[in-house]
Amino acid sequence: MDALTVLLVGVGAAVGAPLRHLADAVVRARLDPVFPWATFAVNVAGSLLLGALVGAAGALPPGLGPLLGTGFCGALTTYSTFGYELVALAERRATPTAVAYLAGSVASGILAAAAGWALAGLVL
């Protein structure tokens, strides 16, 4: 990996991480705090974008994958927070919410990635 790629990943992450924090603050202020809507939303949005990037990979400039895919999407989305919130729901014995969060996150993430891939195919 060359220095430019590392820089692109860092720049993407420098934008994605604060945006994830901002999204968390905005969503928590507006929606029910029992369900982790902020993490759910950024993970689905990141899956959509990453699916589109993969679907368009052959048509994109070489640095865009590391910048947006690894850097931006990697910092915006968060598997660790998803895992933490899932365990926290289970510890609070909010089992229906935990199951809905788990199933909804996985299914929505896969569907969003597939939709992004399909949209990229339609556009290109």
From the CB of residue 60, how many other CB atoms can be counted at a distance below 10 Å? 18
Q: Is 51 annotated as a binding residue?
A: no
Q: Is 74 annotated as a binding residue?
A: yes
Q: Which residues are annotated as a binding site?
A: 74, 77
Q: Which residues are annotated as a binding site for Na(+)?
A: 74, 77
